[in-house]
Structure 1
Amino acid sequence: MNNIFLITKREFLTQVKKKSFIILTILAPVLLVAFGSVIGLMFKANESHNVIEVVDKSGLFTNQLKSSDQLKYIFVSAADEKSKINNLKGNESLDGILILPEVKSQNFDDFQKNTRLVINNKIGFDTKQRIVSDITDVIKKEKIKQLGIAEAQLNNLDKSFSLKTINVSENNKEDSDLAFGVKSGLSILLMYVTFMFIIIYGVRVMRSVLEEKNNRVVEIIISSVKPFELMMGKILGVTLVALTQFIVWITMSVIGALVLNTGFTSIQKNIPGGNEELASKLDVAQIATQVSHSLLELNFPLIIFVFIVFFLLGYIFYSSIYAAIGSAVDNETETQQFTLFAILPLMLGMYGSFSLMNNPDGPLGFWLSIIPFTSPVAMIARIPFGVPAWQIALSIALLLGTTIFMIFIAGKIYRVGILMYGNKATLKEIWKWIRG
């Protein structure tokens, strides 16, 4: 046991003392936020801003087609239709001309057949669909008016219905759409982080074992320690490295949520009542405040506990597999035929968990979060939505038992494979090592 502690300590200190580890641990959350911002700016930069001139021959659409930030309508006289079309080519300030024919006898079928959009160059599919949607809305209102419904009644018909949801399992807390979106976002983030880090750190263990095996350093090491002690020391050392990073990131995330929740609230209170321009600029800040408030309303102690427990057990489980693979082969090329067995269950758990957002308590969510091969990812994906305590306890018990069994199996493979050179390990040969 003392040897395992010494190897774990050495592996941990070797990793955390590196400048790259310190820089990555501190900057990773900042880089993640920056990356998300860049992606958002890329989508924003690729948004189309089109100017469309409209020839409305019936006058029906003149006051009803409303411009937006992405699509601007400019109404022109029907007498200028031909000249406008002739001068459209090469006109960089105009993207197209929408010809809306006269509506005769409320015959909108003929109107649709004769409506056309003449464009200067290619326009985006979303722009075309937005134009179609705007025209459809106007026609819909006109058809409703033909039924004798007044404008006020028509506006009343368009009012959306908002359903207030109260969750009795969470002390009668209101479960809003924003809260559901926050839970879904947190679920995807935790699930993806777990998936990536199990693979990244698992491969790190495998490469470390393979490197020591190829350098014949392991022959010297195992003269003082048992192969099983060496394997467990490596796994636990890297586990503590990952845990250290997570503790720093969780602390930074909670502090960031608290700052957003309190800082922007105080700023909003100091905005002058009539300053609408300044208030509009803080829309993003208001959204950030609402998101941080929804985050702080979650059961964070339980989420953090489940995240750490399932990550650690899942990591040790899969790292045992990676350590066994590293000991059984002689080079990284040979690892590819075995690593598939470790990656496939994780991928199954991750992609299967995307379907949990609409029904976290469904049968698929239950079994994915109970089966040890997928539970490290699936249970973490479910936990923001709330999971019964007995399911968490059952899943932990099964994962713990399976992890201990996998460590035992990996230890038998590691004990033989770490000293094997020149022989290409096959599944049949590995099975003999396990039985022996």
Structure 2
Amino acid sequence: MNNIFLITKREFLTQVKKKSFIILTLLAPLMIIAFGAVIGLMFKANESHNVIQVVDKSGLFKGQLKSDDKLNYIFIPDANENAKINALKDDESLNGILILPELKNHNYDELEKNTRLVVNSKIGFDTKQRIVSDIANVIKKEKMKQLGIAETELNNLDKYFTLKTINVSENNKEDSDLAFGVKTGLSMVLMYVTFMFIIIYGVRVMRSVLEEKNNRVVEIIISSVKPFELMMGKILGVTMVALTQFIIWITMSVIGALILNTGFSSIQKNIPGGSEEIMSKLDITQIATQVSHSLLELNFPLIIFVFIIYFLLGYIFYSSIYAAIGSAVDNETETQQFTLFAILPLTLGMYGSFSLMNNPDGPLGFWLSIIPFTSPVAMIARIPFGVPVWQLVLSIALLLGTTVFMIFLAGKIYRVGILMYGNKATMKELWKWIKG
């Protein structure tokens, strides 16, 4: 036991003392935010401003097709239609001409049939859909007027219905759509982070074992410690490194949520009302405040506890497999035939968890979070939505028992494979090592 502690301490200190670890731990959250900002800017940079001239022969659409910074409607007289279409090809300041025929006897089917958009280059799908939507809204309003429905009544018809959900299992707590969105986002982030870190740090253990085996350093180490102690020391050492990063990131996230919540609340109090421009800006702060409120209302102690427990057990479970693989082969090329067995169940759990966002308590969510091969990611995906205590206890017990059993099997393979050279391991050979 003392040897395991010493090896764990050595692995941990070796990793955390590196400048790369300190820089990555502190800058990773900022890098993720910056990466998201860059993606947003890329989408923004690909947007274009389109100028569409409109020939409105019925006079129905003039003044009702609204322009903005992405799409500009310019109405032109009917007489210039043919001349404008002929000159469109060489007109770089214009993107297209929308021809809206005359509406006869309120025949909207005929209007749709003869409406056409003439363009001089390819326009984006979203721009085309925007034009279709604008035309459809005008026609909809016109049809409602014919039925004798006023504009205010029309707006009331389209008014969104908000359904308040009261959960009696959570002390009559109200669960809004925004809160559900926050839970879904948090669920996906935690699930993906767990999936990525189990694979990244598991592969790191495998490469470390493989490197020591190829350098024959392990022959010297084995003379002082048992193979099982060396394997567990490496796994636990890297586990502590990952947990240290997670604790720092969780602390930064909670502090950030508290700062945002306080900051946006103070902005709301200090901004006076009355101006539409101010109120539109205030909507952003209100949404941000509601998001931060929803985050802070979650049971973070339980979420953090479950996250750490499942990451810890899941990582040890899969790292044992990776350590066994690293000890059984002589080079990284040979690891490919075995790593699929470690990656496939975890990947199945992650992609299966996407389907349980809309129904966290469904049968798929239950079984994915109970089966030890998938529970490290599936249970973390469910926990923001709330999980019955008995399911949580059962899942942890099964994962803990399976992890201990996997350590036992990996130890059997590691004990023999770490000193084997030039012998390509097969599944039959591994089975012999386990039985021996």
**TM-score, normalised by the number of residues in structure 2:** 0.97
1:64-91 C-alpha deviation (Å, 9 max, x unpaired) = 2222332222222222222322332232
Structure 1 residue 188, shift from structure 2 partner: 0.6
Aligned to 2:28: 28
Shift of 1:334: 0.3
Give the residue type in structure 1 aligned to 2:159.
K
Aligned to 1:182: 182
What displacement does 1:190 show? 0.4
Q: Unaligned 5+ residue runs, structure 2?
A: none
Residue 201 of structure 2 aligns with which residue?
A: 201
Aligned twin of 1:67 = 67
Note if 1:241 corresponds to 2:234.
Answer: no
Q: What CA distance in whole angstroms lies between the structure 2 residues aligned with 1:422 and 1:126?
A: 59
Q: Equivalent residue for 1:289?
A: 289
Aligned-partner Cα distance in 2 for 1:90–1:23: 54
1:18 is aligned to 18
1:235/1:316 contact within 8 Å kept: yes
**In structure 2, the residue corresponding to 1:54 is in which secondary structure?**
strand
SS at match of 1:88: helix
* Aligned length in residues: 436
**Distance in 2 (alpha carbons) for counterparts of 1:150 and 1:208:** 74
1:231 aligns with 2:238: no
Aligned to 2:346: 346
Please give the alpha-carbon distance, in whole angstroms, between the structure 1 residues aligned to 2:276 and 2:162: 27
Q: How far off its partner does 1:348 sit?
A: 0.1
Instruction: Verify the 8 A CA contact 1:95 1:120 in the aligned structure 2.
Output: yes
AA partner of residue 137 (structure 1): N
* Aligned counterpart, 2:88: 88
Q: What percentage of residue pairs aligned between the two structures are identical?
A: 86
Read off the aligned partner of 2:65 and give its amino acid letter: L
**Residue in 2 that maps onto 1:385:** 385
- Give the 3-state SS of the residue equivalent to 2:121 in structure 1: coil
Q: C-alpha offsets along residues 389-423 of structure 1, whole Å, 9 cap, x if unaligned?
A: 11111000000000000000000000000000010
Equivalent residue for 2:361?
Answer: 361
CA distance in 2 between counterparts of 1:267 and 1:149 reads: 41
**Residue range with higher mean Cα deviation, 254-263 or 79-88:** 79-88
Paired position in structure 1 for 2:47:
47
The unaligned stretches of length 5 or more in structure 1 are none
User: 2:308 matched to 1:317?
Assistant: no
CA contact (8 A) 1:48 1:127 kept: no
* Equivalent pair of 1:164/1:175 in contact (CA under 8 Å): yes
SS in 1 for 2:90: coil
Q: Does structure 2 retain, via aligned residues, the 8 Å contact 1:328–1:425?
A: yes
> 1:275 Cα deviation (Å)?
5.6
Q: How far did 1:247 drift?
A: 0.3
Shift of 1:198: 0.2
| 1:105-127: CA deviation from partner (whole Å, max 9, x where unpaired) | 11112211211111121101111
Distance in 2 separating the partners of 1:365 and 1:336: 30
2:174 is equivalent to residue 169 of structure 1: no
Residue type of the alignment partner of 2:120: N
Rounded to whole Å, the distance in 2 between the matches of 1:62 and 1:320 is: 70
Q: Which amino acid aligns with 2:177?
A: D
Q: How far apart are the structure 2 equivalents of 1:166 and 1:277? A: 34
Instruction: State the one-letter code of the partner of 2:354.
Output: F
Question: 1:170 offset after TM fit, Å?
Answer: 2.1
Distance (Å, rounded) in 2 between the aligned partners of 1:308 and 1:208: 24
The alpha-carbon deviation at position 214 of structure 1 amounts to 0.6
In the aligned structure 1, how far is the partner of 2:378 from the partner of 2:321?
20
Q: Determine the C-alpha separation between the residues in 2 that align with 1:68 and 1:166.
A: 40
Give matches, 1:390-409, under 5 Å.
Answer: 390-409=390-409
What amino acid does structure 1 have at the position aligned with 2:19?
A: K
Q: Tell me the distance in 2 between the aligned counterparts of 1:197 and 1:90.
A: 55
Range with greater deviation from structure 2 (265-274 or 372-381): 265-274
How far did residue 280 of structure 1 move? Answer: 4.0
Q: Which residue of 1 aligns with 2:79?
A: 79
- 1:156 is matched with 156
Question: Aligned partners of 2:108 and 2:207: how far apart in 1?
Answer: 69
Distance of 1:157 and 1:251 partners within structure 2: 46
Matches of 2:41 and 2:213, distance apart in 1: 47
Shift of 1:278: 5.2
More deviation in 189-198 or 167-176?
167-176
The CA deviation at 1:279 is 5.2
**Structure 1 residue 233: Cα displacement:** 0.4
Partner amino acid, structure 1, of 2:60? L
1:283 to partner: Cα distance: 4.7
Q: Does 1:332 align with 2:332?
A: yes
Give the stretch that moved more between structures: 422-431 or 114-123.
114-123
- Which secondary structure does the structure 2 equivalent of 1:65 belong to? coil
2:209 aligns to what SS in structure 1?
helix
Q: What amino acid sits opposite 1:353 in the alignment? A: S
- 80-89 vs 12-21, greater mean Cα deviation: 80-89
